[in-house]
């Protein structure tokens, strides 16, 4: 096994069985591997708590996804369209949701290292994440030139405007089915919808994927 690997894992969304399969497939060893998740560990799938348990067992670190940020907003008393998931989270975590939320509050919104940038959804063209609103970092898909409409499919994707030399790895956009360009990699391959759970092993730039055991959620849910 290659020492000092970084294993970057796409959106898990409660698919704990597939995460366990993927960790076995890559022979993940927290003693010499770094395991970094791109956010959205929770919601939609069979057990967010199961994913959290595995995450802790491999000493994982994660950036914030839109589902984690929505959860925090709801727990803080703000209205959010992901309100429908909160009761399931309380049942699933069975008294441990506050502990999970406390951990999430410490997660970064991006991770930047020499030659590598990790973010949940994407980057505003020409703007560093530190100067970007967190909601944009966890939700952007398309770019209208002004940042007013970030989800309109008639506009080009944000990554078409990326001109940096660092590799940007993101999740969030399952409909892409994954993306592999010289400086852009999309790792959300729609596991919770019956697709695959994907990871990138860095610096090998090698992909490992496992098939979903089943479709747990309809696309668009």
* Domain boundaries defined on the chain: 5-211
Say yes or no to pLDDT of 3 above 70.
Answer: no
Q: What confidence tier does 2 reach under pLDDT thresholds 50, 70, 90?
A: very low
Say yes or no to pLDDT of 219 above 90.
Answer: no
Q: Is 33 helix (H, G, I), strand (E, B) or coil?
A: strand
Average pLDDT for 13-24: 98
| pLDDT score recorded for residue 121 | 98
pLDDT in tens, 186-217: 999 999 999 999 999 999 999 999 999 999 99
Q: Going by C-beta distance under 8 Å and a sequence separation of 6 or more, which residues neighbour residue 113?
A: none
pLDDT in tens, 52-97: 999 999 999 999 999 999 999 999 999 888 888 999 999 999 999 9
Of the listed ranges 46-50, 145-149, 158-162, 176-180, the least confidently predicted one is 145-149
Say yes or no to pLDDT of 4 above 90.
Answer: no
CATH fold label, 5-211: Purple Acid Phosphatase; chain A, domain 2 (3.60.21)
pLDDT in tens, 94-133: 999 999 999 999 999 999 999 999 999 999 999 999 999 9
Nearest residue to 177 via CA among 137, 207, 201, 147? 207
| pLDDT score recorded for residue 221 | 67
| pLDDT score recorded for residue 27 | 97
Count of CA atoms in the C-beta half-sphere (13 A) of 132: 22
| pLDDT score recorded for residue 148 | 87
| pLDDT score recorded for residue 36 | 98
This model's pTM is above 0.75: yes
How far apart, in whole angstroms, are the C-alpha atoms of residue 208 and residue 193? 18
Strand partners, 187: none
C-beta separation of 100 from 52 below 8 A: yes
| pLDDT score recorded for residue 80 | 85
């Amino acid at each position: 096994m290659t020492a000092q690997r970084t294993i970057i894992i796409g959106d898990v969304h409660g698919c704990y069985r597939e995460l366990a399969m993927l960790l076995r497939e890559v022979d993940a060893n927290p003693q010499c591997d770094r395991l970094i998740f791109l956010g959205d560990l929770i919601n939609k799938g069979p057990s967010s708590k199961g994913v959290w348990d595995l995450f802790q067992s491999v000493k994982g670190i994660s950036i914030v996804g839109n589902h984690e940020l929505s959860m925090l907003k709801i727990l803080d008393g703000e209205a959010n369209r992901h309100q429908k998931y909160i009761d399931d989270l309380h049942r699933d975590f069975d008294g441990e949701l506050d502990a999970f939320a406390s951990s999430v509050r410490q997660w970064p919104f991006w991770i930047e290292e020499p030659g590598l940038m990790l973010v949940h959804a994407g980057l505003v063209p020409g703007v560093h994440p530190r100067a970007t609103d967190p909601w944009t970092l966890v939700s952007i898909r398309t770019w209208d030139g002004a940042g007013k409409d970030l989800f309109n499919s008639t506009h080009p994707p944000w990554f078409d405007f990326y001109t940096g030399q660092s590799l940007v790895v993101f999740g969030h956009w399952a409909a892409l089915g994954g993306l592999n360009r010289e400086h852009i990699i999309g790792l959300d391959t729609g596991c919770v919808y019956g697709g695959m759970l994907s990871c990138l092993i860095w610096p090998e730039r090698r992909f490992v994927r496992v098939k979903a055991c089943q479709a747990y959620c309809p696309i668009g849910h």
